[in-house]
Amino acid sequence: KAGVTQTPRYLIKTRGQQVTLSCSPISGHRSVSWYQQTPGQGLQFLFEYFSETQRNKGNFPGRFSGRQFSNSRSEMNVSTLELGDSALYLCASSFAGELFFGEGSRLTVL
């Protein structure tokens, strides 16, 4: 089985721009979670989707949004980028309570 695939792996944006990150879960996994990882804050939960519905949301501003499609692929969007949004964004699909992570998308905001 292919693992969780995240695209793009690396990207550079400037303040004020917006970015969309994509995540393809493991085939058959219907739950997708997103995390932000920074040196200062560690791994912070963003949101979780199941069957195209957001089930849980972390404590992030409205600039952070996401969605899930009928094939379980998910996207997250960050609008009006700030320098502090520079981070590794990790997506994970889950099965039986275990999270399977992608390699992440490293976003640098200049």
The residues that touch another protein, with contacts defined as CB under 8 A, are 4, 31, 33, 35, 42-45, 48, 50, 55-56, 58-59, 88, 90, 92, 94, 97-104, 106
In the complex, the smallest distance separating the C-beta of residue 16 from another protein, rounded to whole angstroms, is 26
Q: Which residue's structure tokens are 């693992």? A: 3
Q: Report how far residue 59's alpha carbon sits from residue 47's, in angstroms, rounded to the nearest whole number.
A: 9
Specify the residue, 18 or 95, whose C-beta has the smaller distance to another protein. 95
Residue 110 CB, shortest distance to another protein, in Å, is 19
Least distance CB 4 / another protein (angstroms): 7
Q: What is the DSSP letter of 15?
A: T
Name residue, tokens 């560690």. Answer: 42
**Which residues are CB-neighbours of 58 under 8 A, at least 6 positions away?**
44, 45, 46, 47
Q: Measured from the CB atom, is 15 or 57 closer to another protein?
A: 57
